[in-house]
Structure 1
């Protein structure tokens, strides 16, 4: 009986089950797998979906940073605003963060682009440790007001991009590669509007 357990097929089954268990119970392993799939060309954000053409009143939708400074979306008209809702315990959030960071690095000094990386848990200390460990300089915020469901329904990660007139130009739930060239071209188009 011991010969059957340690046969090639038995060892193969043990390895397969072990890999599945690691992916199910180790968030960083799941994030690493998702990052690999992103690099392979999967999880590209779809910027071709129709969005609302109406200028929305974003006043009163606010976020605060770790120092207590509050940013109101209504005050950001005239800028392209990239908002990413995430959490440190969320494997798809962790998987897309390198791409979000690459996009941020492209536009961090652009006067017409604002990034709000919103920790859905509001755990600034934990978020900052994550960012420091990964050497990301992303600006972390917490929710400081009610957020309409049209912007955030609670699914993590969720990314929303507003154009300069305050219109929602992109809304995506789930991990995506925001460093993808098509998404960068989409951002450039919004900046030039």
Structure 2
């Protein structure tokens, strides 16, 4: 009898492990749980490298509207690179959605959620299905490696002068009060 119970427990453990490995929403759920208990807290420190110019770095939304980062001087830019298939991206979306909801009416902060795959219909549907009200864009130009080197998710924040003020590769809890305080500090800095 003990042998059968142990086998059932082992089989269940293996099934749960396989679900976490192969089902993106299951992995995202696990990562999100770890975020909520304090793991994946972003370090708010200025990166060592800085971008030279934001002019010509462009993104396009589902309606064909272009946004050039160089035209956003005087505004704080929150730029997140993500993909619908990426479990860490899915895990951090609720926290980013909370941050966006807090600052979406602030004219000093611009949020850009760049679908790294460039599949706007799919990413827009993803946002709508999950009831996220965040603007989705696709990359329309070359992105310097100091901004995005291909790791998903990647989040960068530029200050009002267009200087790279924050960069984080990997999952993070962006509803964290350190990020909120950091954005408010950037807003109050000239």
TM-score (norm 1): 0.94
Q: Distance in 1 between matches of 2:29 and 2:88?
A: 9
Select which of 57, 71, 75 maps to 2:67. 71
Give the superposition deviation at 1:5: 5.3
| Structure 1 partner of 2:119 | 123
Which residue number corresponds to residue 6 of structure 2?
Answer: 9
Moved more, 134-143 or 123-132: 123-132
Cα displacement string for residues 106-164 of structure 1 (whole angstroms, at most 9, x for unaligned residues): 11010100000000111111111111111111000000000000000111000000000
What is the TM-score normalised by the length of structure 2?
A: 0.95
**Matches of 1:127 and 1:60, distance apart in 2:** 24
Matched residues in 2 for 1:180 and 1:49: separation?
17
Query: Unaligned stretches of 5+ in structure 2?
Result: none
Are the equivalent residues in 2 in contact too, given 1:79–1:112 (CA < 8 A)?
A: yes
Matches within 5 A, 1:32-181: 32-52=29-49, 56-181=52-177
Q: Are the equivalent residues in 2 in contact too, given 1:45–1:177 (CA < 8 A)?
A: yes
For structure 1, list consecutive stretches of 5 or more residues without a partner in the other structure. none
Whether the aligned pair in 2 keeps the contact of 1:51 and 1:170 (CA below 8 Å) is no
SS of 2:88's equivalent?
Answer: helix
Aligned equivalents of 1:133 and 1:41: distance in 2?
Answer: 27
CA RMSD in angstroms, aligned pairs only: 1.3
In 2, Cα distance between the equivalents of 1:89 and 1:76? 30
Number of equivalences: 189
